[in-house]
A and B are shown apart, each in its own frame.
Chain A
Amino acid sequence: MAVADVEVLQKVPTSPLAAAFQRAKAWDGIGLLAVLVLLYVVLSLKSPYFLTTDNQLSILQNAAFFGIVAFAMTLVIVSGEIDISVGSMAALSSSMLGVFVVNHGVPMPVAVVLVIAAAAAIGAGAGAMRAYFGVPTFIATLALYLALKGLAQLLTNNFPLPIDSERFFYWGDGRVLGIPVPALYLAGTFLVLIIISKKTVFGRSIYAVGGNAKAAGLSGINVRRVKILVMMIVAITAAITGLLQTALLASGNSTIAVGLEFDAIAATIIGGAALSGGKGSIVGTVMGVLFIAALLNGMVLLSVNPYAQQVVRGAVVLAAVLVNVWRTRKSSLE
């Protein structure tokens, strides 16, 4: 009303192209991309088999088993929370599916829906504990880590429940146009979550809540809802991962997905997310996922001692965190 037409001073016209260029220059992920390319060059020089289509597809298939969760974990970590119960959630999902289908004769599609709904409810519960009672998600999901694992073992007596369904196995081990089905799930999850994070009010609210919860709340963003939703989404992806593994193993199994939380969090951190919240991106996590998957694959191809592989994985995460901290400090000094 009062402010209608204002003389605009200091207006500098910038073309979209120039803007895009500046954006690319400022992109955080450029360093990680370089490291990923370097890893590919080194591994393909060391092992002639590494760059073959078969091996690359197998990398993608293996990447799916933690990457789907990693994308959702990125949203959780950007919102300033964490979920360390995803491995147990996957194991519980697998066990529940086995019990429903094998012991109770529930039709497969119904069982799948039930399992995902249960996971969503548990995840939302952890989010609600955070939002309404101030229980840190680290503690809430630490409790779930134990409880869900125990529940899975209780349901199955810790024995695999063989599932007999050719159509179901196709999910874990099948191929579409030569591409492993899990890799397609990985790509699908990526697309859905990147659209959510970049294009929706909810997605941008995650960044606002993680970056400055107080300011977000004062600006009218529903902080509690955001926290509950991200915890629900990551639980759903954990359940999907459990189902994919069930299909691959052809049995409901309480011992699967051990260490899933590590790979998912590691991929997110390598992708540039800050555990303090507000910072991180799905694109960065894609590179983190590919980096871990290629590294694991490469170490197997080069027959690195399995114990040494674990040391390398730990060292990589530590290095990634150090680089992040160093970069943040540098940019805050500027």
Chain B
Amino acid sequence: MDAAVPVLDCSNLSKSYGPVKALIDVDFTLQRGEVRALLGKNGAGKSTLVNLISGSVQPDDGTIRLSGQEVHWDGPGAARAGGISVVHQEFSLVPGLTVAENITMGRWPARNGFINQERLQAEAQRALDMLGVDLPSWQLVGSLPIAQQQMVEIAKALVDDPDVLILDEPTSALNATEVDVLLALIRRLAATGVTVIYVSHRMKEIPQVADRMTIMRDGREVATLGIEEANPERVAALIAGEATEVEAATFHDRSSAPVALSVRSLAVDGILNDVSFDLHQGEVLGIAGFLGSGRTELLEAIFGLRHDVSGEVLVGGKSIRRRKPRKMLAQRVAMTSEDRKHAGIVPALGVGENVVLTARGRVLPKFWLRSRAEARLQAATIDQLAIRTSSPAQEVGTLSGGNQQKAVIGRALAAEMQVLLLDEPTRGIDVHAKTQIYGLIRELALSGHSSIFVSSELEEMPLVCDRVIVLRAGRSCEVLAGEQVSAERILALTMKEAD
């Protein structure tokens, strides 16, 4: 094969979703056997690029060439057959089938409907050999540890002899040793001529595995660097872009205010490691860190949603043992889940009904409904948060994401909660609604509420937080306060190598 012809050559790729330009005029060229890291924050266009290359989405404009031939995929199946395989972040394995059956799923060799086990095993084994791992091919996938399941997932992608293998955050579920094994394995694959696109946030891994990196921002390719020219500061600056002019919120140094909630040496085996901090009254404390750094788990540990936690949580100076959500609510500590649809709202109930769920039995009587008191509380909360709804009876599931999120926060406020644990409160809502949520959190801080604000969108941190704790691999590493809080700075810290 001609070495000069790039295996994948995308030129002028563009894609819009309605008014949103997800990808603008992107060129992306890969040589055979190259490992290319793809970086960028959420919404930078990484996924759109990956979806275009892998056929899940069709480009509005531009061309994709595979080994010099122009291709038009009409779906992921066509791209797969054409030589492009993707390993998605979520597993697509069937726990009740064996390793071999999973690897070859959908293309089981058969005659007259009967599976040819020998050929099935041989095909699966060939994929495992390509990967260079030894897995018991007869074992049920459900009984394997996550790291090995990840290997099965990659082997499944290798069955079709792909020219290009796309790995989307392949290490987010793995521990350090497992990551090393996986990275070595990717290098070995590349040495055999497979081209790998490696989507990851983890700055530490990229020099170990990638030859070059492409950085995306706002739908454009902003830089493609050789791995030797990339240092974390430069990369962070490229990912974050120019510092956006922030409408300076008035921040307050609350370190002299009484402590509302303290966390002492909180640990969850393999996830959180000795995390301690104080949250003061009227303070907004940001928790920054990449996926898998333990952000959500930290909130769950505080709120009593996990039972494998060691360490101490104090509310108002009093240690709370055997934490459960009901117990924490009694201490006026509330949590809003990042999964708004499934763990936040009750979609078929009215906005008002949603708002008073926690208040019942706390602010409102426990057994009998007092309709006038309820109506007053519902109306007051809807009004306070400016939830846009035709009436308190409108089903909350029919509202926009931003208004749903307000209803979730409103539920905590109606029940007179003092400490709010907010997990990704701005996920999946539009820019305008985000601004409103930021404003709301700041306003609550002024009225004495304390919040812990978790977000994967680092540029939100300076808009909302008085202080930010950077979490890396389950450890609280740095604390930034006031002026120091900037998206670039946080990004550089989250990507820094673990000490």
Asked if A214 contacts B92 (CB within 8 A), the reply is yes
CA distance A331 to B114 in the complex (A): 32
Asked if A199 contacts B115 (CB within 8 A), the reply is yes
Q: 1/0 per position for B79-96, CB-CB distance to A under 8 A?
A: 000000000000011111
How distant is A74 from chain B, measured CB to nearest CB, in Å?
12
Q: Which residues of A contact B34 (CB under 8 A)?
A: none
CA distance A278 to B106 in the complex (A): 16
Interface residues of A in 4-51 (CB under 8 A from B): 4, 6-12, 14, 19, 22-23, 26
**Residue on A nearest B112 in the bound complex, by CB:** A200
Asked if A211 contacts B132 (CB within 8 A), the reply is no
CA distance A26 to B99 in the complex (A): 15
Asked if A278 contacts B94 (CB within 8 A), the reply is yes
Q: Which residues of B contact A278 (CB under 8 A)?
A: 94-96
Residue of A2, A22, A78 touching B192 (CB-CB under 8 A): A2
Residue B110 at the chain A interface, CB threshold 8 Å: yes
**Residue on B nearest A26 in the bound complex, by CB:** B143
Q: Which residues of B contact A207 (CB under 8 A)?
A: 94, 96-97, 101
Asked if B108 contacts A6 (CB within 8 A), the reply is no
Asked if B113 contacts A202 (CB within 8 A), the reply is yes
CA distance A214 to B108 in the complex (A): 17
**Residue on A nearest B181 in the bound complex, by CB:** A10
Residue B322 at the chain A interface, CB threshold 8 Å: no
Asked if B115 contacts A200 (CB within 8 A), the reply is yes
Instruction: Give the segment of B134-142, B253-261, B401-409, B440-448 that binds chain A.
Output: B134-142
**Residue on B nearest A279 in the bound complex, by CB:** B96
Residue A175 at the chain B interface, CB threshold 8 Å: no
CA distance A212 to B91 in the complex (A): 10
Q: Which residues of A contact B134 (CB under 8 A)?
A: 8, 10-12
Asked if A210 contacts B96 (CB within 8 A), the reply is yes
Residue B161 at the chain A interface, CB threshold 8 Å: yes
Residue of A7, A9, A204, A212 touching B92 (CB-CB under 8 A): A212
**Residue on B nearest A213 in the bound complex, by CB:** B94
Q: Which residues of A contact B101 (CB under 8 A)?
A: 204, 207-208
Asked if B92 contacts A201 (CB within 8 A), the reply is no
Asked if B132 contacts A26 (CB within 8 A), the reply is no
Asked if A201 contacts B143 (CB within 8 A), the reply is no
Residue A192 at the chain B interface, CB threshold 8 Å: no
Residue of B105, B188, B194 touching A216 (CB-CB under 8 A): B105
Asked if B92 contacts A6 (CB within 8 A), the reply is no
**Contact A19:B113 (CB < 8 A) given known A8-B129, A216-B105:** no
Residue of B93, B161, B188 touching A1 (CB-CB under 8 A): B161
CA distance A78 to B95 in the complex (A): 12
How distant is B169 from chain A, measured CB to nearest CB, in Å?
18
Asked if B94 contacts A3 (CB within 8 A), the reply is no
Residue A194 at the chain B interface, CB threshold 8 Å: no
Asked if B97 contacts A204 (CB within 8 A), the reply is yes
Q: Which residues of A contact B113 (CB under 8 A)?
A: 200-202
Residue A219 at the chain B interface, CB threshold 8 Å: yes
Asked if A201 contacts B110 (CB within 8 A), the reply is yes
**Residue on B nearest A19 in the bound complex, by CB:** B138
Residue A215 at the chain B interface, CB threshold 8 Å: yes
**Contact A212:B93 (CB < 8 A) given known A201-B108, A220-B107:** yes
Q: Which residues of B contact A219 (CB under 8 A)?
A: 92, 105-107
**Contact A3:B192 (CB < 8 A) given known A22-B136, A204-B97, A214-B92:** yes
Interface residues of A in 45-62 (CB under 8 A from B): none
CA distance A11 to B130 in the complex (A): 12
Residue A176 at the chain B interface, CB threshold 8 Å: no
Asked if A215 contacts B192 (CB within 8 A), the reply is no
Residue B347 at the chain A interface, CB threshold 8 Å: no
How distant is B109 from chain A, measured CB to nearest CB, in Å?
9
How distant is A29 from chain B, measured CB to nearest CB, in Å?
13
**Residue on B nearest A221 in the bound complex, by CB:** B106
**Residue on A nearest B109 in the bound complex, by CB:** A201
CA distance A7 to B77 in the complex (A): 29
Q: 1/0 per position for A215-255, CB-CB distance to B under 8 A?
A: 11011110000000000000000000000000000000000
How distant is B159 from chain A, measured CB to nearest CB, in Å?
10
Q: Which residues of A contact B110 (CB under 8 A)?
A: 200-201
Q: Which residues of B contact A202 (CB under 8 A)?
A: 113
CA distance A314 to B312 in the complex (A): 44
**Residue on B nearest A8 in the bound complex, by CB:** B129
Asked if B76 contacts A218 (CB within 8 A), the reply is yes
**Contact A10:B96 (CB < 8 A) given known A26-B143, A201-B113, A331-B143:** no
**Contact A204:B115 (CB < 8 A) given known A211-B95, A278-B94:** yes
Q: Which residues of A contact B93 (CB under 8 A)?
A: 212, 215
Additional A-B contact list (9), CB under 8 Å, known A19-B136, A278-B94, A279-B95: A3-B130, A7-B132, A8-B134, A200-B113, A204-B101, A210-B96, A212-B95, A215-B92, A219-B107
Closest 8 CB pairs of A and B: A219-B106, A211-B94, A220-B106, A2-B193, A215-B92, A278-B96, A219-B105, A211-B96
Q: Can you show 24 pairs from A to B with CB atoms below 8 A apart?
A: A2-B194, A3-B130, A3-B194, A4-B192, A22-B136, A26-B140, A199-B115, A200-B114, A201-B108, A201-B114, A201-B115, A202-B113, A207-B94, A207-B97, A208-B101, A208-B105, A211-B94, A212-B93, A215-B92, A220-B77, A221-B106, A278-B96, A279-B142, A331-B143
**B residues adjacent to A (C-beta < 8 A):** 32, 76-77, 92-97, 101, 105-108, 110, 113-115, 117, 129-130, 132-134, 136, 138-140, 142-143, 158, 161, 163, 188-189, 192-194
**A residues adjacent to B (C-beta < 8 A):** 1-4, 6-12, 14, 19, 22-23, 26, 78, 199-202, 204, 207-208, 210-212, 214-216, 218-221, 278-279, 331
